[in-house]
A and B are shown apart, each in its own frame.
Chain A
Amino acid sequence: MRIYALLVYLFLYVPIGIIVLFSFNSGKAASQLQGFSVQWYGKALSNTFVVEAFQTSLTVAFISALLATLFGTMAALALQSLTGKLRTLFDALIYIAVMVPGIVIGIATLIALVTLFEWLNPLLKAIWPMAEAAPQLSLGIGSLIAAHGLFSMALVIIIVRARMAGMDRSLIEASADLGATPFGTFRQVTLPQLFPGILAGFLLAFTFSFDDFIIAFFVSGSQTTLPIYVFSSIRRGVTPEINAIGSMVLAISLILLITAQSILRRSAPKS
């Protein structure tokens, strides 16, 4: 039994380990280790395409996670006191957002936005004071943020609601009994208790956006995120530079993940 478990863990971690190992390989050969070197990291980080893609990914992940956390938390708070049809509608929307495959969300967003822009752009040009200077709407950072934020928001709502379910209601009642205003109770009792859930939601949303390939593949327009860059360079062939980029991507999501986990665990409501 133990040996079996060990084998499964090896299966899970050896491939990742090999990527990391070979990212420090001084030689170019993919088959043998020739010595320790960080040259591939240097090469990756001095490649302007990589740096730009990295910046795009970080920008999209940060803004989409921030908006998703804000609006998702607000929605989770409002849904708490809601029953009836509107509640059912929101539950259904959250469920659909999580269950519909990313690829379908990607193509749906692509054709909906492109069609919308085809209508709006001539209109903008007509009403703009100087037709030549009229803004052209197109796919890019904005559509990436909007599409990633959608899934992230559903994720945040689910996490914050789970947190609410485990919350100690008696504290809220006590606060009200002691004469605190509803807003005071919210700020001093509810929010501190929810905060770990909100923060974990933000970190997971960031990780999702940073790692997402399939939605970005459709809605990125002329922008390149890091996963899109990696995907297209793999098509051109396996290089040690990709190992270095891959190791950095893994490291970033691992750090975020471990932080989210420890926040959730350390502050888990005792039951």
Chain B
Amino acid sequence: MRSRYRTALFLLPAGAWFFAMLVLPLVVVFVFSFGERGPAGGYVPAFTFDNFLNLGARWAAFKNTMIMAPLGTLACLLIAYPLAYFLAVRASPTWRTLLLILVIVPFWTSILIRSYAWIYLLGGQGLPSLLEALGLGNPRLINTPFAVLVGIVYGYLPLMVFPIFVSLERLDKRLLEAASDLGAPPMNTFLTVTLPLSMPGVATGCMLVFILLMGEFLIPAMLGGGKVFFIGNALVDLFLQSRNWAFGSAVAVALVLVMVITVTVYMHLTRRWSGGRDDVSLM
């Protein structure tokens, strides 16, 4: 009985914190999404679906996010996979840990400063002037979808490399030897053994990057120059500029819903992909 009191006492601060700063605020957003905008901004209690019916007003932000988030995820995947493969299969064990840490370190440093670095590089006096000096014209790079994509890959690559690395490292190397002993060309071994077995890592990485990208604000704000507008940018605009809390809450609820639906569908699909291959991983 005493240990039950102690458990309760130990959980109390964390529980109260979760309730006050997570559960309550999220409930407030949900409730406010059915409300109305006050005359001077803010919120007036009401029960209306108008905010949700009006979501089309921010269609561009939803559309941009739903184009750029999958595109950014794909770009991260294409660049991360070979690196993860190199680290897990090819790199010498003595260097592996250090190389892996070097991939993860940037993720824990300020994304603000790292995006700022690309303003510097892609801005007029950076790469464009370098290209001009080489006689390759003076392309506009900053404040374009391309710049946003570069920022995304730069920001989220570590998050994609890590889970793929883990799934490739766990892979039983004897399977690869068996495949080549049985005469499979390297490419076939990769396509029929390595790639399928690393799918769980690929799925995890894609999901993590995709979820974070859906709520992204900083990268499009800094590298897109207001031209590449994500849902996150719409939210900042609605809450800090126009102070339309009710409509902003509806956008936030819609964002979370779209996220939950995509992740559920995605997890369902990946489970089905790997469903038939569970027997392989047991070997």
Contacts and interface: CB of A to CB of B under 8 A. Distances in A.
Interface of A: 1-2, 4-5, 8-9, 11-13, 15-16, 18-19, 22, 29-31, 70-72, 74-75, 77-79, 81-82, 86, 90, 93, 96-97, 99-105, 107-115, 146-147, 149-150, 153, 157, 204, 207, 211, 213-214, 217-218, 227, 230-231, 234, 238, 242-243, 246, 249-250, 253-254, 257, 261
Interface string B218-241: 100010000000001001100110
Contacts of B249: 107, 111
A230 B112 contact: yes
B162 interface: no
Contacts of A93: 18, 22-23
B157 A1 contact: no
Interface stretch (B51-59, B120-128, B182-190): B120-128
B11 A74 contact: yes
Interface stretch (B166-174, B209-217, B272-280): B209-217
Contacts of A153: 14, 17-18
A19 B120 contact: yes
23 contacts: A5-B99, A8-B79, A8-B157, A15-B114, A15-B154, A19-B116, A19-B120, A30-B120, A72-B14, A74-B10, A82-B11, A90-B14, A99-B211, A101-B256, A107-B29, A107-B235, A111-B245, A146-B17, A211-B109, A214-B218, A230-B116, A249-B110, A250-B110
B265 interface: no
Chain B binding site: helix, strand, loop or mixed by DSSP? helix
B248 A81 contact: no
Contact of B86 (A2, A157, A238): A2
B136 interface: no
B268 interface: no
Interface string B174-197: 000000000000000000000000
Nearest to A246: B113
Contacts of B20: 146
Given A99-B211, A230-B113, A112 B24 contact: yes
B83 A8 contact: yes
Given A16-B106, A75-B10, A97-B18, A109 B117 contact: no
Contacts of A4: 82-83, 86
Contacts of B110: 211, 213, 227, 246, 249-250, 253
Contacts of A249: 109-110, 113
B93 interface: no
Contact of B252 (A104, A157, A253): A104
Given A4-B86, A103-B235, A230-B112, A157 B14 contact: yes
A218 B32 CA distance: 17
B1 interface: no
B46 to A, nearest CB: 15
Interface in B88-127: 90-91, 99, 101-103, 105-106, 108-114, 116-121, 123, 125-126
A18 B11 contact: no
Nearest to A30: B125
A108 B25 contact: yes
B21 interface: yes
Interface of B: 3, 6-8, 10-11, 13-15, 17-18, 20-26, 28-29, 32, 42-43, 79, 82-83, 86-87, 90-91, 99, 101-103, 105-106, 108-114, 116-121, 123, 125-126, 129, 154, 157-158, 211-212, 214-215, 217-218, 222, 232, 235-236, 239-240, 245, 248-249, 252, 255-256, 259
Nearest to A228: B112
Given A4-B82, A207-B108, A100 B256 contact: yes
B215 A101 contact: yes
A77 B6 CA distance: 10
B29 A111 contact: yes
Given A101-B255, A107-B248, A18 B18 contact: no
A103 B232 contact: yes
Given A5-B83, A104-B252, A111 B120 contact: no
Taking each of B105, B214, B259, which has the highest tally of chain A beta carbons within 10 Å of its own beta carbon? B105
Nearest to B252: A104
A147 B215 contact: no
A75 B105 contact: no
A190 to B, nearest CB: 13
Nearest to B6: A78
Given A81-B7, A112-B25, A254 B18 contact: no
B18 A22 contact: no
